[in-house]
């Protein structure tokens, strides 16, 4: 018996069940024997990481996992559970094919076809119209566009606005945040005053507003002012006759040949897209409807894309 045959027999006898032996064993002594073992003779058993776990303590858990008879839940029992937790399922009714969309109860189009136009008003204008908001005691309260938008603000927008306010208060403090908002209001006021002077072609008066500089804002709208002419109203109040709301319009003028409402806005960040202006387009649309409904103005502003202009 050759050495390789002895080695093979020894491996089979003492290698154990975990040994893998491949080879070629022939009775012919002239043919060499090739064998390969993938493990050592002194292989040790691996430690079980769960050997120290208290089996009795977790026996119920083990049975619930490995047993298929523990769970008694069925589709019927699950449906009954959901009904108790969330109530009965409400199935929506299929939409009828002949269903006609409901029209609003108070239909008020932006373009008022029944309004009587005064062709002589434009010729008689020596200065842009300016009607003051009628406020004070003894007058019935009519909500403004700004107040309505604040009360009907979407929850998502209100969340981000409140988060911004808390962040600013955390950085500036209550007093610093009050001063910050006061400066923003003052800045907007000076900017509107400067634009009014430009549109009226008068000299800009010296502002006593604590040295607020709005030159950057004025410079940013120079390309817009080049297309603005035929100013009809500046900082003038409007009232919607049928929907009963008021507003203060910044400017009514011709922009690129069409009569428009222009609302001037200041911002510390650029607004490249219309959706970045939040509810400002809705504010301008409300002004358009109110002005076209107000009998104090003998003209109609445009309701196409150019009629909704913000700068």
263 is catalytic: yes
Describe the chain by its helix, strand, coil percentages, rounded to 5. 40, 15, 50
Is 265 annotated in the active site?
yes
Q: Name the residue among 243, 295, 236, 296 with its Cα closest to residue 261.
A: 236
> Which structure tokens are listed for 182?
């006061």
Range list of H helices, 19-129: 59-66, 75-86, 119-124
Concerning whether 250 is annotated as a catalytic residue, the answer is yes
Using DSSP, state whether 21 is helix, strand or coil. Answer: strand
Catalytic residue of the set 57, 250, 258, 294: 250
User: How does strand 258-263 pair with strand 308-310?
Assistant: parallel
E strand spans, the chain: 21-24, 34-37, 228-239, 246-255, 258-263, 308-310
Name the active-site residue from 115, 189, 265, 279: 265
CB 246 within 8 A of CB 223: no
255 contacts 242 by C-beta, under 8 angstroms: no
d(CA 273, CA 281): 12
Residue 53: both structure tokens together:
């776990």
Annotated catalytic sites, by residue?
250, 263, 265
């Amino acid at each position: 018996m050759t050495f390789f045959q002895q080695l093979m027999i020894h491996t089979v006898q003492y290698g154990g069940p975990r040994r893998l032996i491949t080879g070629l064993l022939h009775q012919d002594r002239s043919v060499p024997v090739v064998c390969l073992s993938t493990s050592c003779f002194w292989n040790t058993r691996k430690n079980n990481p769960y050997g120290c776990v208290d089996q009795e303590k977790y026996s119920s858990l083990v049975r619930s996992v490995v047993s298929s008879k523990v769970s008694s839940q069925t589709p019927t029992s699950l449906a009954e559970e959901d009904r108790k937790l969330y109530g009965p399922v409400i199935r929506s009714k299929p939409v009828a094919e002949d269903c006609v969309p409901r029209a609003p109860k108070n239909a008020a189009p932006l373009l008022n076809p029944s309004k009587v136009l005064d062709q002589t008003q434009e010729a008689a204008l020596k200065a842009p119209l300016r009607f003051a908001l009628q406020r004070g005691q003894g007058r019935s309260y009519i909500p403004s566009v700004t107040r309505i938008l604040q009360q009907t603000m979407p929850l998502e927008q209100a969340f981000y606005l409140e988060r911004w306010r808390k962040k600013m208060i955390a950085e500036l403090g209550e007093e610093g945040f009050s001063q910050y908002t006061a400066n923003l209001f003052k800045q907007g006021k000076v900017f509107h005053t400067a634009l009014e002077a430009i549109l009226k072609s008068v000299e800009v008066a010296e502002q006593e507003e604590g040295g607020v500089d709005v030159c950057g804002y004025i410079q940013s709208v120079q390309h817009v002012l080049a297309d603005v002419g035929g100013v009809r109203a500046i900082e003038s109040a409007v009232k919607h006759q049928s929907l009963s709301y008021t507003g203060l319009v910044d400017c009514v003028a011709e922009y690129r040949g069409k009569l428009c409402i222009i609302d001037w806005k200041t911002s510390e960040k650029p607004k490249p897209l219309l959706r970045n202006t939040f509810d400002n387009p809705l504010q301008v649309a409300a002004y358009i409807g109110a002005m076209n409904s107000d009998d104090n103005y003998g003209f109609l502003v445009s309701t196409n894309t150019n009629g909704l202009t913000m700068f």
